[in-house]
Structure 1
Amino acid sequence: MEVWGGIECSINRIDKSYFDQLEYNDLYSRPEMLDEVIKLGIKTIRFPVLWEKNWPNPGEAPDWAVEKHLNLLKHRKINVIAGLVHHGSGPGNAGIHSDDFAEQLAIYAKMVAQKFPWINSYTPVNEPLTTARFCGLYGLWYPHQKNSKDFLNLLINQCKGTILAMRAIREVNPKAQLVFTEDLTKIHGTCELKHQITFENHRRWLSIDLLCGKVGHRHPLWKYIIEQGIQKDQLSFFIENPLPPDLLGFNYYVTSERYLDHKLEIHPPSSHGGNGRIAYADVEAVRHPEAKLEGIANLMKEAWQRYRLPMAITEAHLCCGREDQLRWLKSIWEDCAQLNAEGIQITAITFWALFGAYGWDKLLTEEKGNYESGVFDLSSGSPRPTAITKFITALARQKIYQSPLINSPGWWQNQEPPAQTSSPVLIIGGSGTLGTAFVKICSDRNIHFLAPKSNELNVALIEQIENFILLHKPWAIINAAGYVNVDIAEGNFEPCFLTNTLGPINLAKTCREHQILFLNFSSDLVFDGIRQAAYRENDPVSPLNNYGFSKAEAEKRVLSILPSSLIIRTSSFFGPWDGHNFVTAVLEKLKNGESLTAMDDVVITATYIPHLVHAALDLLIDHEQGIWHLTNNGSISWYELALAVAKRGGLDGSNIQPISQYKLNLPALRPANSALETSRGKPLPSLEKGLDEYFHQRL
């Protein structure tokens, strides 16, 4: 099998607005980003030459916004599969619902072929059935219709456009091949909905059936199509002009399989729908306890038996923790390799969303939307390689990718984890606030870990660390231990230095010796607070107290010993699993009717521990190094934070009084501003989201 790549490139329309993924990731102005893709060893890429972007106005010459990109790929001998419409509705003059959509698309397709005659593979329309659903059945995308007739007309327009586009392309390049892509799905559900389930499992193939000339009088959906007002001559076009794809591409996601449930009351209103006779919920099968997924192997076998055409996976991607992204991609690769061994031709796996994607958590219904990383993470503005790059590079070179994480079950598999034989991650300080969070989240993410108690492993004794490593062979060490009482540290520097500085030094030395990844935590208190804006990673440190000094010294010494160490600076954190944090303390006092004071002259970036731990694990798995700032987005004083907590908890905030740190006579001076921000990637979610999740977890 070949290793292909693809860039999430949707240009979808909402009312009069076009949402363009390549505008969001800035690829139009930075063709050099493709150099990072080429380094992976990928030789074929699905690349957008989208109609709406390149020729939006028929009275004008095409813009060819991706000409430099395509020339770069040609020069580097990368095969291109050109996409012309990707979840799009066409330009304004020839919308997807227009009678001349197909003819206008063909005109544009011929222009592309004339401009780039060396391109030999095309996807004129990506996932026409899925697009017709979103535009014509669900009303999410333009033209925002919600009925079967519009759905069918939109589908027919796109499929006819595919045929006419390929006809026009082949006038220029007779060798051009059609790579037709569609979602690979299966519908499951309750017995009460068996007729609807049968219907949906016929409808999922309708775009391919049309192209292959299979929708005649004997087709199981013929009656349905005619009853919706579709004319017979619209269907006869496909029977008279069949165009079986040269390559049938399927896009399979963890949510591709659906479950229809008549028990509406147990599902959110957003999932409720129906067929006009029966109401039901349409939910992700992977999350329904009664669903049994078919999986990609069985569905590809079904497609093979139905069409007997060469096939490929044209999108493989999962938005989740990094280890599950790897597990998902590995499972797809292995399943398809097995199919090839059984004689079912799978040409390639396409690693999708190379530069991530924007807004898919809300189905592209809002401009830009939340970013999810892909093979590369663009959070910092430049492509940062994730662990997936190593996986792809290994496959491209026909080598085996080794990772202690990749063989454990993914979250979607609903399996009990097998007896752990892989190397663990070693969590130091597993009984503390931060360590407890790592223990819980590693367990949730099926990451094998060991969290020895302090009497089992004393990090002040380097020989103990050596012996523990030799016995358990961890692949990484996370130091979540720390001397955390800032005020007591002013009069007890030695124990503070022992825990916060000497311990990390010893761990760094042993990690260097045994080639183990090392993650250590530092603090916002390494800064003096003079800066008006939030501090970034490269700002000079100047601690005001012993605690801050112990952390700053640890940073310097650890990086001098082991430059590949990952050091995460964070700020005052709070979480739902411990009672020893400011947010919980405020809640408890207010619930008990007590008054409290909070500093209004000290600004921080409060941090929700689950957000911190998830992001830290992803960076560790990516083998990131150096200093990173990880905090929730948004600076706030302690007093403002207390008021926000009271408001979220529905409590009276009048019992909270502001006070200056100087009136508290604290032993340790705090910087007036220790807010953090990052220049290396995307910050954690907003503090508001962190508080929302905190209260949700506590309910």
Structure 2
Amino acid sequence: MTLLVTGSKGQLGRELTRRGKDRGMDIAGLDLPDLDIADEAGVKKAFGVHRPRAVINAAAYTHVDHAEKDADAAFLANSRGPAVLADQCREKNAALIHVSTDFVFDGEKKTPYLESDPTRPLNVYGAGKLLGENEIRRRLHSHIIVRTSWLYGAHGANFMKTMLKLAKDKNEIAVVSDQRGSPTCAGDLAEALLSIASMVMRSPRAPRGLFHFCGQGEATWDTFARAIFEIAEELGILPKAPVVRPISSDEYPAAARRPYFSVLDCSKIRERFQIIPRPWRESLKETLESLKGRDRP
């Protein structure tokens, strides 16, 4: 049974491909330029070649600020692409596991967001991802949508790697302190998605629908940055942790608005799939340990 992973060269896709193969799964990983998920003919060809039993869609337009000026490209990847995949999954009787975002919420809530909470994205990226969710629901019964937040990992561009790069040249780094969420390790998310895929491919009775998955616990961006620096110094990745200077969102110019609070409640995925997120600090330390002995950011 083949599992098709789209966006296989991204930070999540690379973890999915490697960890899936480590599990002994038959993984077919595709990414640009070989597969554009918004291209109907290309997607149809990929399904014909690989005949997947399930698809994990890790392909997306993820640069939140650039999306404000490049909305067409963002909606093409984040809305049209999922619709094309859903149509092909329906035609070929395959399940679709799709990754979405905490940015579908406006951040006005003060307690972790449930899957049933109303959505109200504040930016183009969040709006495109929400439309992608809705396109999948409308077109395909056999779907699992997993929202996540503050994704980081050893590969690709992400907050952790940006902080490590800045720390090489700066003794003090200003970081936003009034946005709260849950850092999520790409490896942990990959393991959760692969576990879901295994269950879905084995049984038509496996749960379907919308789920939340993120690292256990909460943080602000400045808290996250301090943890990165402290652990990196402890591991010898950094000679000395820089000082983190907290600033407000208003002091940090960004094209896209972000929610002030986007912590996700993961009770449902725990109950339905027995998937338990790890504390985010534990996962962060493991990720930083994996950087030792490699070219560092």
Alignment TM-score, normalising by the size of structure 1:
0.38
CA distance in 2, matches of 1:665, 1:484: 18
Equivalent of 1:634 in 217, 240, 254:
217
| Conserved 8 A contact 1:601-1:660 | yes
Partner of 1:483 in structure 2? 61
1:646 maps to which residue? 229
Q: Deviations over 1:286-343 (max 9, x none)?
A: xxxxxxxxxxxxxxxxxxxxxxxxxxxxxxxxxxxxxxxxxxxxxxxxxxxxxxxxxx
- Which residue does the alignment assign to 1:698? 291
1:568–1:629 contact (8 Å) kept in structure 2: yes
| 1: CA distance, partners of 2:190 / 2:242 | 34
**CA displacement at 1:657 relative to structure 2:** 1.2
Q: Are 1:555 and 1:567, in contact at CA under 8 Å, matched by a contact in 2?
A: yes
Q: Is the 8 A contact 1:531 1:673 kept in 2?
A: yes
Q: Select which of 600, 612, 627 maps to 2:189.
A: 612
Alignment correspondent of 1:515? 93
Q: Any conservation in 1 of the 2:12–2:58 contact (CA below 8 Å)?
A: yes
Q: For each residue in 1:83-120, what CA deviation from the matched residue of structure 2 results, as whole angstroms up to 9, or x when unmatched?
A: xxxxxxxxxxxxxxxxxxxxxxxxxxxxxxxxxxxxxx
Which segment drifts farther, 481-490 or 581-590?
581-590
2:132 alignment partner AA: A
Match of residue 273 from structure 2: none
The residue aligned with 1:663 is: 251
Deviation per residue, 1:347-390 (Å, 9 max, x gap): xxxxxxxxxxxxxxxxxxxxxxxxxxxxxxxxxxxxxxxxxxxx
Q: Show the counterpart of 1:625.
A: 208
- Provide the rounded CA distance (Å) in 2 between the counterparts of 1:603 and 1:428: 29
Query: 1:288-437 counterparts in 2 under 5 A?
Result: 404=1, 424-437=2-15
Please point out which of 435, 449, 459 is paired with 2:37: 459
- Which residue identity does 2:230 align to in structure 1? K
Equivalent residue number for residue 554 of structure 1: 132
Provide, for residues 394-416 of structure 1, a one-character-per-residue CA deviation record: whole Å limited to 9, x for no partner: xxxxxxxxxx3xxxxxxxxxxxx
Deviations 1:72-92 (A, max 9, x none): xxxxxxxxxxxxxxxxxxxxx
8 Å contact 1:633–1:677 — kept in the other structure? no
On the 8 A contact 2:232/2:241 being kept in 1, the answer is: no
Structure 1 residues 472, 681: closer, same or farther in 2, change over 3 A?
Answer: closer
Q: How does 1:431-446 map to 2 (within 5 A)?
A: 431-446=9-24
* Contact persistence 1:630–1:684 (CA under 8 A): yes
Corresponding residue for residue 72 of structure 2 = 494
- Say if 1:579 and 1:597 are closer, same or farther in 2 by CA, change over 3 A: farther
SS in 1 for 2:82: helix
Q: 1:593 to 1:665 in 2, by over 3 A?
A: closer
How far off its partner does 1:607 sit? 0.3
Residue aligning to 1:597 = 174
Q: Which residue of 1 aligns with 2:266?
A: 678
Q: Name whichever of 652-661 and 489-498 sits farther off.
A: 652-661
- Give the Å deviation of 1:554: 0.9
Q: Distance in 2 between matches of 1:454 and 1:649?
A: 33
Q: 2:152 & 2:32 partners in 1: Cα distance?
A: 23
Match of residue 201 from structure 1: none
The alignment partner of 2:229 has SS state of helix
Q: Which amino acid aligns with 1:608?
A: C
Q: Give the deviation of 1:504 after TM superposition.
A: 0.3
Alignment partners' CA distance in 2, 1:486 and 1:672: 15
Q: Distance in 1 between matches of 2:52 and 2:282?
A: 34
Structure 1 Cα separation of the partners of residues 156 and 89 of structure 2: 33
> How far does residue 544 in structure 1 lie from its aligned partner after superposition?
0.4
Q: Distance in 2 between matches of 1:431 and 1:458?
A: 13
Q: In the alignment, is the contact (CA less than 8 A) between 2:10 and 2:156 conserved in 1?
A: no
User: Alignment length, in residue pairs?
Assistant: 276
Q: 1:563: how far off?
A: 2.5
The answer as to whether partners of 1:537 and 1:679 remain within 8 angstroms in 2 is: no
In 2, Cα distance between equivalents of 1:553 and 1:453: 22
Q: Retained in 2: the 8 A contact 1:589–1:595?
A: no
What is the one-letter code of the residue matched to 1:694?
T
Cα distance in structure 1, aligned partners of 2:245 and 2:219: 16
d(CA) in 1 for partners of 2:20 and 2:64? 28
AA of the residue aligned to 1:625: R
Aligned mates of 2:212, 2:18 — CA distance in 1: 22
Match in the other structure for 1:687: 280
- Percent identical among aligned pairs is 30
1:507 CA drift (Å): 0.2
Counterpart contact for 1:429–1:482, Cα < 8 Å: yes
Structure 1 stretches lacking a partner, 5+ long: 1-403, 405-423
CA distance in 2, matches of 1:665, 1:591: 23
Q: 1:575 to 1:556 in 2, by over 3 A?
A: same
The 2-side partners of 1:535 and 1:439 are apart by 29
For 1:432 and 1:688, locate their aligned partners in 2 and report how far apart those are by CA, in whole Å: 23
Query: Could you say if the C-alpha distance between residues 506 and 690 of structure 1 is closer, same or farther in structure 2, counting changes exceeding 3 Å?
Result: same
**2:151 counterpart letter in structure 1:** F
CA distance in 1, matches of 2:65, 2:135: 24
Distance in 2 of aligned mates of 1:666 and 1:455: 30
TM-score, reference length from structure 2: 0.88
Look up the SS of the partner of 1:431 in the other structure. Answer: coil
The whole-number CA distance in structure 1 between the counterparts of 2:57 and 2:83 is: 11
CA apart distance, 1:595: 3.0
Larger Rg: 1
Q: Could you tell me how far apart the structure 2 residues matched to 1:570 and 1:666 are?
A: 21
Give the AA of the match of 1:601: D
Greater RCO, CA 8 A, separation 6+: 2
CA contact (8 A) 2:171 2:242 kept: no
d(CA) in 2 for partners of 1:678, 1:593: 36
Equivalent residue of 1:451, what SS? strand
Unaligned runs of 5+ in 2: 201-206, 271-275, 293-297
- Does the 8 A contact of 2:136 with 2:143 survive in 1? yes
